[in-house]
Structure 1
Amino acid sequence: MENFITDINDLDLNKKYSYADYILWKFKERVELIKGKIFKMSPAPNVSHQEISRNINRVLDYYFLDKPCKVFYAPFDVLLTDKKKSSADNDIQTVVQPDLCVISDLEKIADGKKCVGAPDLVIEILSPGNSKKEMDYKFDLYQEAGVSEYWLVYPEEKSVNIFVLKEGQYIGLKPASEGQIFNSHHFPELTADVDKIFI
């Protein structure tokens, strides 16, 4: 008999947890697990965040329609594995839910429920309550896990910062802002119009 936890207050937020624990949590709050520590996610995204996510998703869906890649949007669990540990549920201590992600290696989603390993492209849309987490913790996590390309979307500035993994380190490209069209580095034929993202 599995012991599901239905109240987040029953957890010790100072303790470290694994994916084996995470799958037993059935409370209403959305959380992410970052190196074993619980991070509460911001409340439901505001309308602007939702619209930006939908606009980017349209671009991705159109481009990847007949390609052997899959596009996912939150909530969708991405398990980032530690290269020094196994991929067993009790060894995975990082579970994130990026706003959008693209996965080429479909073996990573073999069970149809989650991605185990680094997506090729991760997109995070900043909101007032999560900017520190996205800019600091997740930047390091995605770099460490080997996410090839990471877009940070700034709704207030109407700009997109693109980071590309080179020899294990992210290199920031020139930010894309209003009036500009930019290309993905990992998928060079994928283009996005900044003005259509922030309609």
Structure 2
Amino acid sequence: MAARSSARRARALPRRTPAVLPPLENGDMLTLTEFLRRYEDMPGVKKAQLIEGVVHMPSPVRVTHSRPDGVLQLWLGTYASEHDLELLPNATLLLDTENAFQPDAILCSPPRKGGRVWLNTKNYLCGSPELVVEIASSTASIDLRDKLRVYRRLEVAEYIVWRTEDAEIDWFVLEEGQYIKMKPDRHGKLRSRIFPGLVLDLAAALACDKAKVLSALKK
């Protein structure tokens, strides 16, 4: 009898409903663990970043972003395919306990070739890749402030920022702990110091002339 009464009481207990995680919002101050929990709980959100412990949610993607992105992905993808490298567009990159970026492109060597990146147990990319690319609006962008400082601190060897409003491309190379902006040669081209043969024709890139961009790469 007592057993039946206990069973009835157990059935009468209300079921616990799963806790609902609050959504990510611009300006939230979160730990990396909490940021990833909320991000994973929002499958409809395709891009969110934690920068120095603060959540940043991007605006909708405009054509002024998509066109440069197409040029850069083709340029880097062509080079990567010919040099046994990994091109990772829009991958979440865990840099440290306060920073999880989602750059437009990452070009890196696989670990078997001495690369300094790896996948954690949840298949997030960790470490410091050789080259990171961001498409920004202008010099006022966070890509040239907080994110640049983090990339520099964590020794990302080269960092490219395409400023769409300014029609400029900045290519930084790490020298003695500081980012130095590279200058184009007399032909208007920039050349990677870490990836031999990775050449960017600035005028062709800014004009989104993919054929000329690839032509400069293959010379």
TM-score (normalised: structure 1) = 0.78
Provide the C-alpha distance between the structure 2 equivalents of 1:2 and 1:104, rounded to a whole number of angstroms.
41
The structural deviation recorded for 1:121 is: 0.4
Provide the C-alpha distance between the structure 2 equivalents of 1:127 and 1:146, rounded to a whole number of angstroms.
24
The structural deviation recorded for 1:186 is: 1.6
1:78 aligned residue: 93
- The answer to whether the Cα contact below 8 Å between 1:183 and 1:189 also exists between their aligned partners in 2 is yes
| Residues 32 and 180 of structure 1, relative CA distance in 2, 3 Å threshold | same
Q: State yes or no: 1:59 paired with 2:72.
A: no
The structure with the larger Rg is 2
Give the unaligned 5+ runs of structure 1: 82-91
- The answer to whether the Cα contact below 8 Å between 1:2 and 1:24 also exists between their aligned partners in 2 is no
Q: In structure 1, what residue type is equivalent to 2:51?
A: I
Provide the C-alpha distance between the structure 1 equivalents of 2:48 and 2:180, rounded to a whole number of angstroms.
29
1:24 aligned residue: 37
Provide the C-alpha distance between the structure 2 equivalents of 1:32 and 1:3, rounded to a whole number of angstroms.
23
Q: In structure 1, what residue type is equivalent to 2:144?
A: M
Higher helix content, 1 or 2: 2
| Residues 33 and 12 of structure 1, relative CA distance in 2, 3 Å threshold | closer
Q: Which moved more, 1:50-59 or 1:186-195?
A: 186-195
Q: State yes or no: 1:38 paired with 2:55.
A: yes
Among 97, 101, 113, the residue aligned to 2:102:
97
* Secondary structure of 1:162 counterpart: strand
- The answer to whether the Cα contact below 8 Å between 1:122 and 1:150 also exists between their aligned partners in 2 is yes
The structural deviation recorded for 1:148 is: 0.1
Identity fraction in percent: 23
Q: State yes or no: 1:194 paired with 2:199.
A: no
| Residues 4 and 183 of structure 1, relative CA distance in 2, 3 Å threshold | farther
Q: In structure 1, what residue type is equivalent to 2:126?
A: V
| Residues 141 and 2 of structure 1, relative CA distance in 2, 3 Å threshold | farther
User: How many residue pairs get matched?
Assistant: 182
The structural deviation recorded for 1:135 is: 1.1
* Secondary structure of 1:45 counterpart: coil
Q: Deviations over 1:131-157 (max 9, x none)?
A: 431111011010001100011112233
2:168 aligned residue: 159
TM-score (normalised: structure 2) = 0.72
Q: Which moved more, 1:63-72 or 1:102-111?
A: 102-111
The structural deviation recorded for 1:162 is: 1.2
Provide the C-alpha distance between the structure 2 equivalents of 1:12 and 1:59, rounded to a whole number of angstroms.
34
The structural deviation recorded for 1:187 is: 1.0
Q: Which moved more, 1:156-165 or 1:137-146?
A: 156-165
Q: In structure 2, what residue type is equivalent to 1:153?
A: W
